[in-house]
Amino acid sequence: MLQFGGFSFAVLLFTVTAATVERVQHDYYKYHPMEEISTWMTQMAKDHPDLVTIVDYGRTYEKRTIKLLKIGLNTEAKKKAVWVECGIHAREWISPAFCQYFVKQILQTYKTDAKMEKMVRNMDFYVTPVLNVDGYVYTWNDSTTRLWRKNRTPGPSSGCYGTDLNRNFDSNWGTVGVSFDCKKEIYCGTHVMSELETQAVTYFVGTRKDDFLCFLTIHSFSQMILLPFGHPNYTASNYNELMKVGLGAAEAIWKVHGQNYTVGTSPDVLYPFSGSSQDWAHMQGIHFSYTFELRDKGTFGFQLPEDQIQPACEEAYSGALHIITYAHDQTFSGAVVTAAATLWTLLLAAGVTLM
């Protein structure tokens, strides 16, 4: 009996080891080509069926699917939402790395962290790891294409490719900080929303815009938190609050690894430009719309070494969480009201007289 027990224990151990070996651990601190990111997305949905679903919401010029992970607990109540968009510019590899880290953190913390549990109960997180899929795939082709920025749509004249997706949205399109020359990095497209990726975001977010509290679009580099508007002649109605919350996020970032992030509108701290997803989202009434420009400040630029992925993601996560938590608490302050009502009921039940 004893020997038989020992034998089955060995078999069990072997089975567990085989299962572990079969499944390759996703390394969050390396850059991944598109197929690996897709495989990882599938795995996330498989591992967390109660929380994660994959949503296909568009197709690129080269016929690749644009996908996001929807993360949230199923509740009966009507939920709010948060948009996190990575990889709109192909060469900014730290951006998709951030989205993967962001998803990992939520899934790792919600079971033990009461605040995160509440947030996945009240809100759905819509996370697009790579919006510009064709461009991203192209940057992985060989060293000569590593610094490609735009998508891969053929331009109106021969030999020119790609539109800058962050100049193509319906937010004062084509008015400032753009080029109409299809060979340029900031080519804004033949017309507003000419690109399939822009259309996908516009349709997906636009049809549920009242649900979204936050719209975060992640770029690199220069260590900045930008707020609407990129157009110099418009000021956001909630500019003061956006600045206050943005500065709070920068402080949260600084606390993690001592990195300095600058906060402001793009015309104030970078350069003016029109047609960004951030401006478009704010114009839809999504109040907390921000652009993150992650590490570094130019030493490595778009080619941030892999040993900086972890610190860059850790600090940016802290900044993003500051904004998301603020937006969440503003909307779901009802929780406080409920707690007070419960206390009142208890006091009444105990026969306490309040004066």
Ligand X SMILES: *[C@@H]1O[C@H](CO)[C@@H](O)[C@H](O)[C@H]1NC(C)=O
| Residues at the interface with ligand X (CB under 6 A) | 141-142, 145, 175-176, 232-233, 260, 262
Return the HEC string of the chain: CHHHHHHHHHHHHHHHHHHHHHCCCCCCCCCCCHHHHHHHHHHHHHHCCCCEEEEEEEECCCCCEEEEEEECCCCCCCCEEEEEECCCCCCCCHHHHHHHHHHHHHHHHCCCCHHHHHHHHHEEEEEECCCCHHHHHHHCCCHHHCCCCCCCCECCCCCCECCCHHHCCCCCCCCCCCECCCCCCCECCCCCCCCHHHHHHHHHHHCCHHHEEEEEEEEECCCEEEECCCCCCCCCCCHHHHHHHHHHHHHHHHHHHCCCCEEEEHHHHCCCCCCCHHHHHHHCCCCEEEEEEECCCCCCCCCCCHHHHHHHHHHHHHHHHHHHHHHHHHHCCHHHHHHHHHHHHHHHHCCCCCC
- Smallest separation (angstroms) from Zn ion to the CB of 262: 16
Task: Choose from ligand X, Zn ion, none: what does 299 bind? Cβ within 5-8 Å by kind.
Answer: none
For residue 149, what are the contacts with CB-CB under 8 A and spacing of at least 6? 89, 90, 91, 135, 162, 164, 185
Return the number of the residue (219 or 231) whose C-beta is nearest Zn ion: 219
Instruction: Point out which span in 49-57, 120-128, 218-226, 340-348 binds Zn ion (CB under 5 A).
Output: 218-226
- Smallest separation (angstroms) from Zn ion to the CB of 219: 3
Active-site annotation holds for 117: no
Give the integer Cα–Cα distance in Å for 308 and 92: 14
Task: Choose from Zn ion, ligand X, none: what does 89 bind? Cβ within 5-8 Å by kind.
Answer: Zn ion
- Smallest separation (angstroms) from ligand X to the CB of 145: 6
Give the integer Cα–Cα distance in Å for 79 and 64: 30
Residues in 78-137 that interact with Zn ion by CB under 5 A: 89
Sign of CA dihedral 125, 131, 137, 139: negative
Return the number of the residue (201 or 226) whose C-beta is nearest ligand X: 226
Catalytic residue among 117, 293, 314, 315: 293
Return the number of the residue (113 or 170) whose C-beta is nearest ligand X: 170
Task: Choose from ligand X, Zn ion, none: what does 76 bind? Cβ within 5-8 Å by kind.
Answer: none
Task: Choose from Zn ion, ligand X, none: what does 260 bind? Cβ within 5-8 Å by kind.
Answer: ligand X
Q: Which of 295, 226, 216 is nearest to 266 (CA)?
A: 226
Task: Choose from Zn ion, ligand X, none: what does 149 bind? Cβ within 5-8 Å by kind.
Answer: none
Chosen residue from 219, 295, 322, 328 binding Zn ion by CB under 5 A: 219
Tokens 């962001």 map to which residue?
102
- Smallest separation (angstroms) from ligand X to the CB of 8: 52
Task: Choose from Zn ion, ligand X, none: what does 219 bind? Cβ within 5-8 Å by kind.
Answer: Zn ion
Return the number of the residue (45 or 160) whose C-beta is nearest ligand X: 160
With binding defined as CB under 5 A, does residue 150 bind Zn ion? no
- Smallest separation (angstroms) from ligand X to the CB of 57: 26
Return the number of the residue (106 or 263) whose C-beta is nearest ligand X: 263
Return the number of the residue (53 or 175) whose C-beta is nearest ligand X: 175
- Smallest separation (angstroms) from ligand X to the CB of 90: 13
Task: Choose from ligand X, Zn ion, none: what does 262 bind? Cβ within 5-8 Å by kind.
Answer: ligand X
Return the number of the residue (149 or 322) whose C-beta is nearest Zn ion: 149
- Smallest separation (angstroms) from Zn ion to the CB of 60: 18
Contacting positions for Zn ion (CB under 5 A): 89, 219
Active site residues per annotation: 293
